[in-house]
Amino acid sequence: MKKFLVAVMILLTVAGVAHAEQKKSAWSPELRIGLASGVDKVTLKVSAPCILLDAKSGKRIDKIPAGKDFVVDCAKLKVDAVEIRPKEIRLQDLITTVDGKKYFGGVRLNKVKKSLTVINLVPTEEYLRGVVSKEMSPSFPLEALKAQTVAARSFAMKNRRRHEAEGFDLCATTHCQVYDGFCEFESIERAVDETRGKILMFGGKIADANFHTDSGGMTENVGDVWGTAVPYLVAVREVVKLGEPWTVKVPVKDFSSRFGDGFGKLKSVKLSTLTIGKEAVDRSSSGRVKSAQIVGTKKTVKLTGNDLRRKFSLPSTLFDMKLDGGEVVFTGYGHGHGVGMSQVGAKSYAQDGWSYEKILAHYYHGAQLKKSY
Ligand SMILES: [Zn+2]
């Protein structure tokens, strides 16, 4: 009996080690993330021995020892592109420091017009850790972090090769998704691991899992924001409690000057009163501004909600606009375009005990959750 128990314990230990090993080094598709361009020199440091390769021929150029600064100078580089990849371990287990900042994976350097484009070669799952940590606070409930991870993974897989002309897949800014590289938060690691490979699909294609900060009470039909309707990106009501409204005040003189000399001075603004979830001629079904008339002493201008949002740096298009004495006062709710998942809403639903699957089903109507690897 004792022998049997020992044998079981050994087996369990081996299984445990094997699981830990597997979890640590599981494969996921490799992404090329553009970090910087127009760089003369890069200082790199790797966590394990690496090889510097000619990216075209695959030939070894040099060995890179672990833990020491290694400088690549564009002026001295004899080939068009090089890659730094681990010699003995897997790419996902390597950490590369690029000019003082840590990243999972290796690096590729492309020579472009006598300077370097710096690209992080990183497996998708490790990339997601550096994205989710920038999109949500690691202190958010786990199910909200998981919903965010699935949205970010779907975006990355759908938009892969978006920057192909520049030699990489995605950039590290808001243009694609903000990516911060190495991340050590346990909650985020768990959110990524527990949704491994899962993406949203619709009609056999990867869904556009758009997300934003705060819907302000109701999300928006994508067609009312970017012009083309998508079945799973439709306005949904939020049951979460409304936050305090935001206010932006613009002096009439500054407001008028934004419309050019032919506009004159602002006389009045024409926009119906906001009721969240109530459609009007000038408002979408969520209540966001579709258009508003701005009447000047010389002419009247018709602007879309998006135009106004851009022109006056408004947090959202879910607002009221009034001329009050010497100021134009915008009062509104929410933050961001309002399409897809609201991060504030996801947090609130997760606190109410919703699973990430339920959160995603609420925001991406009819989209299916599928494991892609
Ligand atoms: Zn981009």
Question: Under a CB-based contact definition with an 8 Å cutoff, are residues 146 and 191 in contact?
Answer: yes
In a domain, 282, yes or no: yes
**pLDDT at residue 63, rounded to an integer:** 95
Whether residues 315 and 342 share a domain: the answer is no
Q: Which two tokens stand for residue 118?
A: 């710096």
CA of 173 to the centre of ligand 1 (A): 6
Give the range of the structural domain holding residue 97, as residue numbers without chain letter. 30-122
In a domain, 283, yes or no: yes
CA of 117 to the centre of ligand 1 (A): 14
Cα 26 from Cα 44, distance rounded (Å): 25
**pLDDT at residue 26, rounded to an integer:** 87
Whether residues 262 and 300 share a domain: the answer is yes
User: Which amino acid is present at 149?
Assistant: T
Whether residues 133 and 204 share a domain: the answer is yes
**pLDDT at residue 244, rounded to an integer:** 87
CA of 170 to the centre of ligand 1 (A): 5
**pLDDT at residue 73, rounded to an integer:** 96
CA of 367 to the centre of ligand 1 (A): 24
**pLDDT at residue 367, rounded to an integer:** 97
**Which of the listed residues 94, 122, 150 is the one where a domain comes to its end?**
122
In a domain, 23, yes or no: no
CA of 349 to the centre of ligand 1 (A): 30
Q: What parts of the chain have a pLDDT lower than 50?
A: 1-2, 4-6, 8-23
Whether residues 346 and 206 share a domain: the answer is yes
In a domain, 310, yes or no: yes
Whether residues 324 and 276 share a domain: the answer is yes
| Residue 1 CB burial class (10 angstroms; 0-12, 13-18, ≥19) | exposed
Whether residues 131 and 63 share a domain: the answer is no
Whether residues 131 and 103 share a domain: the answer is no
Q: Number of folded domains in the chain? A: 3
Could you tell me the pTM of the whole model? 0.88
**pLDDT at residue 25, rounded to an integer:** 56
Whether residues 196 and 344 share a domain: the answer is yes
Whether residues 69 and 139 share a domain: the answer is no
CA of 164 to the centre of ligand 1 (A): 10
Whether residues 262 and 280 share a domain: the answer is yes
Provide the pairing of β-strand 41-46 with 70-73. Answer: antiparallel
Whether residues 209 and 343 share a domain: the answer is yes
**pLDDT at residue 81, rounded to an integer:** 97
CA of 152 to the centre of ligand 1 (A): 13
CA of 19 to the centre of ligand 1 (A): 35
Q: Report residue 23 CA to chain centroid gap.
A: 24
CA of 274 to the centre of ligand 1 (A): 34
In a domain, 296, yes or no: yes
In a domain, 167, yes or no: yes
CA of 168 to the centre of ligand 1 (A): 10
Whether residues 164 and 148 share a domain: the answer is yes
